[in-house]
């Protein structure tokens, strides 16, 4: 029935796998868990994660060359033996004891594996405030990612993330992750809009997982800048649907500046402010400063 697919990199995935095993075994359904490590450099961590093969339902694959975020997900989908795929990020943490059963109920309602759909459970952040060194990512997640299903369903394709996603394997015969995306950023958004173009329904339910693997403030700023570069590449290549361009606050801000011939001046001013903006983002966890850094990066990338 169910293949649970976990791409991992430099992360201890054992607690998550054991939680998934505990829940899924109670349901008496055929299932497997496939973990693929995308060339983690820490040999000790790899060895510890590989001990999961002692569990009969677990397959562990160690890659020695980094495949990238999109390619490894496609590889996992191809390796799966069951018709329904549950993708989870390796840094997800269990929030509720009926997490798997909620998805199994959804599968039983959509009992035809040829019926194409995608359902997203959502992401949540723990209430406890993390160490200041990791607070920017936590604050961003609380403010802009943690949403009820009712809110996410108002714009289901715009709120797309494979962090916690159930999808029939048959969907991957129609759509797969674009393997041109090897770095962080917008590979999930692009996949969501490919689903929209193929008219594959996306639904959201309240079945969240915690996002536990928070990047440090500096790491997160660097990742966001990489994501902006990906966005610029997509926009320049005319690969973004009009709906996405319309709904993207970052792109709309850039386009308004360009329309009034102010993009160059705004970019220059923000470039001069880059260092204090980065300080504010990493030291005071300012989302406004992060937004301005994103705008400066986008203007520079669009030249």
pLDDT along the chain (303 residues), means of 10: 95 96 96 95 91 95 89 93 96 96 91 82 96 97 95 87 92 83 71 87 96 96 93 85 84 95 95 97 97 97 88
119: which 2 tokens? 């359902």
Determine the pLDDT at residue 183.
65
Q: Is 115 strand, coil or helix?
A: coil
pLDDT the model gives residue 242: 82
Where do we find the tokens 């109670």? 26
Q: What's residue 243's pLDDT?
A: 79
Q: What integer pLDDT is reported at residue 87 of this predicted model?
A: 97
Please report the pLDDT score of residue 158 as a whole number.
79
The count of C-alpha atoms lying within 13 angstroms of the C-alpha of 89, restricted to the half-sphere facing its C-beta, is 23
The pLDDT value given to residue 179 = 76
Residue 13 phi, psi (nearest 5)? -95, 0
HEC sequence for 155-187: CCCCCCCCCEEEEEHHHHHCCCCCCCCCCCCCH
* DSSP β-ladder status, 209-211 and 92-93: antiparallel
Provide the pLDDT for residue 281.
97
Name all domains of the chain by residue range, CATH numbers in brackets: 2-214 (3.90.550.10), 218-301 (no CATH)
32 three-state secondary structure:
strand
Cα 49 to Cα 8: distance, rounded to the nearest angstrom: 10
Q: What pLDDT score was predicted for residue 159?
A: 73
| DSSP result, 43-102 | HHHHHHHHGGGGSTTEEEEEESS---HHHHHHHHHHH--SSEEEEE-TTEE---TTHHHH
CA atoms within 13 A on the CB side of 113: 12
DSSP designation for 30: -
Is the separation of the CB atoms in 77 and 85 below 8 Å? yes
What confidence score (pLDDT) does residue 113 get? 65
């Amino acid at each position: 029935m169910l293949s649970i697919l976990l791409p991992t990199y430099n992360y201890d995935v054992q607690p998550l796998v054991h939680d998934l095993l505990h829940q899924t075994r109670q349901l008496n359904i055929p299932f497997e868990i496939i973990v693929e490590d995308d060339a983690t450099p820490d040999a000790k961590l790899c060895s510890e994660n590989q001990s999961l093969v002692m569990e009969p339902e677990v397959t562990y694959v160690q890659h020695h060359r980094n495949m990238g975020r999109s390619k490894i997900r496609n590889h996992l989908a191809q390796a799966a033996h069951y018709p329904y795929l549950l993708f989870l990020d390796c840094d997800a943490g269990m929030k509720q004891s009926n997490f798997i059963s909620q998805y199994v109920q959804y599968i039983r309602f959509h009992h035809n594996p040829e019926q194409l759909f995608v359902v997203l459970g959502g992401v949540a952040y723990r209430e406890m405030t993390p160490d200041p060194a990791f607070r920017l990512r936590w604050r961003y997640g609380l403010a802009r990612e943690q949403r009820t299903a009712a809110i996410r369903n108002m714009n289901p394709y715009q709120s797309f993330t494979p962090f916690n996603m159930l999808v029939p394997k048959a969907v991957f015969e129609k759509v797969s992750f674009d393997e041109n995306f090897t770095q962080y950023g917008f590979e999930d958004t692009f996949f969501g809009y490919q689903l929209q173009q193929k008219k594959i329904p996306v639904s959201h339910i309240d079945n969240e997982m915690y996002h536990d693997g928070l990047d440090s403030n500096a790491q997160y700023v660097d990742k966001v800048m990489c994501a902006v570069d990906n966005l610029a590449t997509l926009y320049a290549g005319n690969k973004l649907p009009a709906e996405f361009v319309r709904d993207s606050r970052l792109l709309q801000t850039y386009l308004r500046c360009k329309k009034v011939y102010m993009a160059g001046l705004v970019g220059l001013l923000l470039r001069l402010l880059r260092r204090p903006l980065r300080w504010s983002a990493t030291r005071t966890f300012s989302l406004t400063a992060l937004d301005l850094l994103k705008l400066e990066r986008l203007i520079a990338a669009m030249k």
